[in-house]
């Protein structure tokens, strides 16, 4: 039986490439890349090893040292994976940013992380140029589609690669070596950098095998963007660490395209998100009769609670089960899940993974009785647990109490040990599986001259689970119009991210705040839903 960790080598990128070649998989397809126009390119484990070695050498040639932060701002692409693995090989810290990010989102992440190097492409360079003066630690930008260096600081990827060799000796990497930095939104303040370490490979490989139930010769497809923790743990590390062939698709969501891939690539295990599955549900059932999904064994879902209706739809139309899984950026890998071999209770999160101790605690920190709601907490110490919030050690400490990590989710456990998600205990908005902080959106909207005050909440939505709703108080003598709505929408889309764009605006005379000036989102939510506002004794007069 193959062992994952050999001679104390925990380096994720080595395990995903060189170790696979050493185990006899050099010629096996690691990644089948399908472009938006459906051109296929196969990358063997050996080609992945060489490509990531070249990036590692490129980074060392530039003087990048272990522990330094190197970020990418790229669309999903093979190069993104080569670069990610190359960064990890030299023990630098990899940060992947969504290609949909606007300047504010980029500035927050690059600034907080102190990234010294960024990989991007020509068409994204304009955004970087506009914020670069505020990023003193960002020394160089490497552009993957620039044939020649533009300056001493804007460099050509292909030119640098031509000077980098294909062999690289990965240094012995301890389990506690920092690896990946993911940013996640909170209900207050800027996004926080969630720092993981190389020992996460133990959980990434284990859950990939044991929960997602992927076998050696399976074809696996995770649709998540690598900017998301799922896209790293299960779109890169899980399958590669296990020598499995995976699909990467560069196009946007489109039902027919996705089902063509499932059918033509003979995908056995498919990992996707509830919003995508709900969008598929909206298609005519006839569409699916034209596809042969005989190879597809299991479907898994992550990001938001999976509605029982989606599970029913899949059983009736696709004749497949969908297993819902639950985890967070901070947990790194699946903690609680439905999975093959465990009867599905539609709507539940499932049961904890074998090594995970999940409990429901009350405000006093005591375990509550089954069926009683409380805070979902996890016994600290699983391998993929984050090790800090970068530059925010105090907030990291606040997430732990008596040896338990507080997830911020409210849930309950039933009498048979299944967990059921109820909601968030904070104001973070989960829209289409993306966590969005209201503060980021409010900050962007307040930059506009027309906006006097703004409060943002998440409201229930059938498709996206939650949608972003912005309550706006306009400056005096201004009237609401579609033109103004467009201006506000574009401000959020282009400054923060399209995922953060409010789907609804409500124009109000005042934004409720408490006596310390904090926005009372609870009151905004009750305005939105038409429910009673509850205790408003702290409301500002």
Partner 1 sequence: MDTTMDALTDVFRQVFDNPGISLTSETTANDVDGWDSLSHINLIMAIELRFNITFSQKEVFGFKNVGDMANCIRGKLPHAE
CB of 100 to partner 1, least distance (A): 6
- CB of 151 vs partner 1, minimal distance in Å: 19
Stretch that binds partner 1, among 146-154, 229-237, 244-252, 353-361 (CB under 8 A): 244-252
- b/e map of 79-99 (b: 16 or more CB within 10 Å)? bbbbbbbbbbbbbbbbbbbbb
Measure the CA–CA gap between 488 and 500, rounded to whole angstroms: 12
Interface size with partner 1, residues (CB under 8 A): 24
Nearer to partner 1, 282 or 290 (CB): 282
C-alpha dihedral sign at 533, 534, 540, 541: positive
In the complex with partner 1, the residue whose CB is nearer, 23 or 490, is 490
Does 100 sit near partner 1 (CB under 8 A)?
A: yes
Q: Which is nearer to partner 1, 123 or 538 (CB)?
A: 123
DSSP 8-state symbol, 133: G
Contacts to partner 1 from residues 104-123, by CB under 8 A: 123
Q: Which is nearer to partner 1, 113 or 431 (CB)?
A: 431
User: Can you tell me which of 498, 514, 526, 533 binds partner 1, judged by CB under 8 A?
Assistant: 498
- Under the binding rule (CB under 8 A), the answer on residue 260 touching partner 1 is no
**Whose CA is closest to 128, among 95, 153, 149, 161?**
153
Q: Report the nearest approach of partner 1 to the CB of residue 505 (Å).
A: 12
Asked whether 515 and 538 are in contact (CB, 8 A), the reply is yes
The three state secondary structure string of 240-287 is HHCCCEEEEECCCCCHHHHHHHHHHCCCCEEEECHHHHHHHHCCCHHH
- Tell me which stretch binds partner 1 (CB under 8 A): 80-88, 324-332, 357-365, 491-499: 491-499
287 binds partner 1 (CB under 8 A): no
- The answer to whether residue 482 forms part of the interface with partner 1 (CB under 8 A) is yes
Smallest distance, partner 1 to C-beta of residue 498, A = 4
Q: How far is the CB of 144 from partner 1 (least distance, A)?
A: 13
Residues of this chain, 63-82, that bind partner 1 according to CB under 8 A: 75
CB 143 within 8 A of CB 160: no
Structural contact between residues 268 and 246, judged by C-beta atoms closer than 8 angstroms: no
* Residue 409 CA to its chain's centroid (Å): 17
- Residue closer to partner 1 by CB (options 275, 329) is 275
Q: Which span sits near partner 1 by CB under 8 A: 76-84, 180-188, 317-325, 479-487?
A: 479-487
Is 284 among the residues that bind partner 1 (CB under 8 A)?
no
99 in contact with partner 1 (CB under 8 A): yes
Specify the residue, 89 or 434, whose C-beta has the smaller distance to partner 1.
434
d(Cα 217, Cα 243) in Å, to the nearest integer? Answer: 9
Asked if 251 is part of the footprint of partner 1 (rule: CB under 8 A), the reply reads yes
Q: Is 486 in the site for partner 1 (CB under 8 A)?
A: yes
Cross-strand partners of 270: 221, 299
Cα→Cα distances 541→205, 515, 522, 535, Å: 55, 8, 17, 14
- Which residue in the set 174, 373, 401, 493 belongs to the binding site for partner 1 (CB under 8 A)? 493
x-or-dash string of contact with partner 1, 124-143, rule CB under 8 A:
x-x-----------------
Q: Which among 96-104, 345-353, 359-367, 522-530 is the span making contact with partner 1, rule CB under 8 A?
A: 96-104
- Reduced to 3 states (helix: H, G, I; strand: E, B; else coil), residue 65 is coil
Pairwise CA distance, residues 338 & 91, whole Å: 34
Is residue 320 within 8 Å of 295, Cβ to Cβ? no
Name the residue nearer to partner 1 (CB basis): 329 or 501.
501
- The dihedral region occupied by 498, where left means phi > 0, alpha psi between -120 and 50, and beta the remainder, is alpha
502 binds partner 1 (CB under 8 A): no
Of 347, 341, 393, 401, residue with least CA distance to 376: 401
494 lies in the site for partner 1, by CB under 8 A: yes
Among residue numbers 30 through 59, which ones bind partner 1 (CB under 8 A)?
A: 36-37
Note whether 479 binds partner 1 by CB under 8 A: no
- Write 321-326 long-range contacts (CB < 8 A, 24+): 322/277, 323/298, 323/299, 323/350, 324/274, 324/300, 324/348, 324/349, 324/350, 325/211, 325/300, 325/301, 325/350, 326/302, 326/350, 326/419, 326/421
Min separation Cβ 441 and partner 1, Å: 14
Among 19, 46, 230, 501, contact with partner 1 (rule: CB under 8 A): 501
Residue 354 near partner 1 by CB under 8 A: no
User: Does the footprint of partner 1 cover residue 175 (CB under 8 A)?
Assistant: no
Single residue of 252, 316, 516, 537 touching partner 1 by CB under 8 A? 252
From the CB of 103, what's the least distance to partner 1, in Å? 9
DSSP letter string, 173-224 = --TTSEEEEEEE--SSSS-EEEEEETTHHHHHHHHHHHTS---TT-EEEE--
Nearest to 539 by CA among 219, 522, 348: 522
Interface with partner 1 (CB under 8 A)? 36-37, 75, 99-100, 102, 123-124, 126, 250-253, 482-483, 485-486, 489-490, 493-494, 498-499, 501
């Amino acid at each position: 039986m193959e062992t994952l960790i050999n001679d104390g080598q925990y380096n994720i990128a080595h395990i995903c490439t060189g170790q696979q070649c050493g185990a006899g998989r050099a010629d096996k397809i690691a990644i089948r890349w399908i472009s938006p126009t459906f051109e296929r390119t196969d990358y063997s484990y050996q080609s992945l090893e060489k490509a990531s070695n070249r990036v590692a050498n490129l980074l060392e040639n530039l003087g990048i040292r272990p522990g330094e932060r190197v970020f990418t701002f790229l669309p999903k692409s093979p190069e993104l994976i080569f670069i990610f693995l190359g960064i990890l090989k030299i023990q630098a810290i990899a940060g992947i940013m969504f290609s949909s990010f606007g300047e504010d989102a980029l500035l927050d992440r690059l600034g907080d992380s102190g990234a010294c190097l960024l990989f991007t492409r020509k068409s994204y360079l304009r955004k970087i140029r506009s914020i670069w003066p505020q990023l003193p630690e960002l020394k160089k930008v490497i552009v993957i589609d620039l044939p020649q260096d533009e300056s001493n600081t804007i460099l050509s990827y292909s030119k640098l690669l031509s000077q980098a060799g294909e062999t690289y000796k990965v240094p012995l990497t301890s389990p506690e070596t920092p690896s990946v930095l993911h940013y996640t939104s909170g209900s207050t303040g800027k996004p926080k950098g969630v720092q993981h370490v190389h020992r996460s490979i133990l959980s990434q490989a284990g859950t990939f095998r044991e929960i997602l139930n992927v076998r050696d010769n399976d074809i696996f497809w995770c649709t998540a963007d690598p900017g998301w923790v799922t896209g790293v743990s299960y779109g890169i590390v899980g399958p590669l660490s296990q020598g499995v062939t995976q699909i990467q698709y560069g196009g946007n969501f489109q039902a027919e395209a996705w089902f063509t891939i499932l059918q033509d690539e003979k995908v056995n295990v498919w990992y996707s998100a509830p919003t995508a599955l709900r969008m598929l549900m909206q298609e005519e059932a006839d569409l699916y009769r034209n596809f042969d999904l005989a190879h597809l064994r299991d479907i898994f879902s992550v990001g938001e609670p999976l509605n029982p209706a989606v599970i029913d739809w899949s059983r009736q139309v696709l004749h497949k089960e969908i297993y819902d899984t639950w985890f967070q950026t901070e947990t790194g890998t699946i903690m609680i899940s439905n999975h093959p071999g465990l009867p599905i209770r539609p709507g539940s999160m499932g049961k904890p993974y074998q090594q995970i101790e999940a409990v429901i605690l009350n405000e006093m920190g005591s375990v509550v009785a089954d069926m009683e709601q409380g805070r979902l907490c996890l016994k600290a110490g699983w391998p993929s647990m984050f090790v800090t919030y970068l530059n925010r050690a105090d907030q990291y400490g606040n997430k732990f109490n008596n040896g338990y990590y507080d997830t911020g989710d409210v849930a309950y456990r039933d009498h048979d040990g299944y967990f059921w998600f109820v909601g968030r205990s904070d104001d973070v908005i989960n829209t289409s599986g993306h966590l969005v902080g209201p503060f980021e959106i409010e900050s962007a909207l307040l930059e506009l001259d027309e906006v006097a005050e703004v409060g943002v909440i998440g409201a229930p939505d059938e498709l996206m689970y939650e949608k972003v709703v912005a309550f706006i108080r306009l400056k005096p003598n201004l009237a609401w119009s579609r033109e103004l709505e467009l201006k506000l929408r574009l401000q959020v889309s282009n400054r923060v991210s399209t995922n953060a764009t409010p789907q609804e605006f409500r124009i109000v005379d005042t934004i409720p705040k408490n006596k310390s000036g904090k926005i009372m989102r609870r009151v905004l939510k009750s305005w939105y839903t038409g429910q009673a506002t509850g205790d408003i004794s702290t409301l500002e007069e």
